[in-house]
Each structure stands twice: as structure tokens, then as C-alpha cells.
Amino acid sequence: MVTSTQIALAAGALFAGYAIYFDQRRQRDPEFRRRLKHDRLLARKMQEQDQNASAGMEEAAVKAAMEALGLNDDKIPESEAEKQAYLTRNLQLGEQFLNQGPSHFKLAATCLFRALKVYPDPIKLLMAFQESVPPPVLDLIMQMMAAETPGAGASSAAPKEEKIQEILD
């Protein structure tokens, strides 16, 4: 009767034999090496194409979602009631995007950054973000804050928006 130990030894011997055969063939057969190299290059190209395609689709989805939610207009409200509603809306949207996973982190960071801009004490809100928001999102928020230089006039509004858009892209 064949025991499980004997089966395991036979399987190990077959695996070792195949590994030795593969290694010998890889070392001695130039055509085999070329084919392996070609296969690796094709796999790398396919992976890069998949990443580029998914990044392009993700950017399009982010822009479409922002337009659908009305997040493209970055007008900060004037009255306190409007600011409170704006703050609440952006915090809720940011939380929803965070719950949808890493593919929605850019949208979440945008919403949370907008909420941070209208909050009366942004330092306290930022400290709350440090405890509750994933580090990649917090990094995006910090980059957006760095891109928006305080004390700049109205003439630099377009460059600020371009910097923030570069960060998001």
C-alpha cells in the first residue's frame, strides 16, 4: 500500500526533476532563453497597458462623478448657513468616497479638502482627519493645501487650480 509519505516524496522528486530540467534548458538553449525574455517583455507591456487603461478610465469616472455630484464648481458660500450646508455635504461625500475604497480616494480627498476650506478651525478638523482618514488620502489633502498658497491674490486663482488638478491627476 502506498503511504502519503511516499506520495509526497514522489511529488517532490518530480518537482525537483522538472526544476533541474528547466534550469538546464534555460542555461543551454539560446532559443528557449529568447522565448522566455520575449514572454517577460510581453507580460510587462500588457501590464503597463492595463495600468494605463485603468488609470484613464478611473480619471474619466472621477470627472464624471464630480460633475454628477456638482463638485466642479468650487465656489465657497458666503453666509454661515450655506457654509454649514457646504461643509456637511462635503464631509458626507468624502466619507462615502472613503467607504468605496482606494479607487475613490482622490474624490474623497477633494471633498474633504473643500470641507477643510470652509471649516472655522481647519487645524482641529485636520487633526480629526489624521485620526480617521487613511494616510494616502491625508497626503493628498496635505498636497492640496500646499498647492494653495495663503495670501495669494485673485490673479493667482488659476495657477492654484492647475496645481490642485495636477495633484489629483
| pLDDT tens readout for residues 106-147 | 888 888 988 888 888 888 988 999 999 999 888 888 888 887
Cell of 75: 465656489
Q: Is 81 exposed, middle or buried (0-12, 13-18, 19+ CB in 10 A)?
A: exposed
pLDDT digits (tens, 9 = 90+) for 7-52: 999 999 999 999 999 888 888 888 988 998 999 999 999 988 888 7
Yes or no: say if 161 and 74 are a contact pair by the CB < 8 Å rule: yes
CA dist., res. 129 & res. 14, Å (int): 55
CA dist., res. 126 & res. 130, Å (int): 6
Contacts of 26 (CB under 8 A, 6+ apart): 32, 33, 36
* 120 DSSP 8-state letter: S
pLDDT at 159 over 70: no
| Amino acid letter for position 95 | E
Cell of 84: 454649514
Cell of 136: 494616502
Q: Which residue has the higher pLDDT, 67 or 42?
A: 42
pLDDT at 167 over 70: no
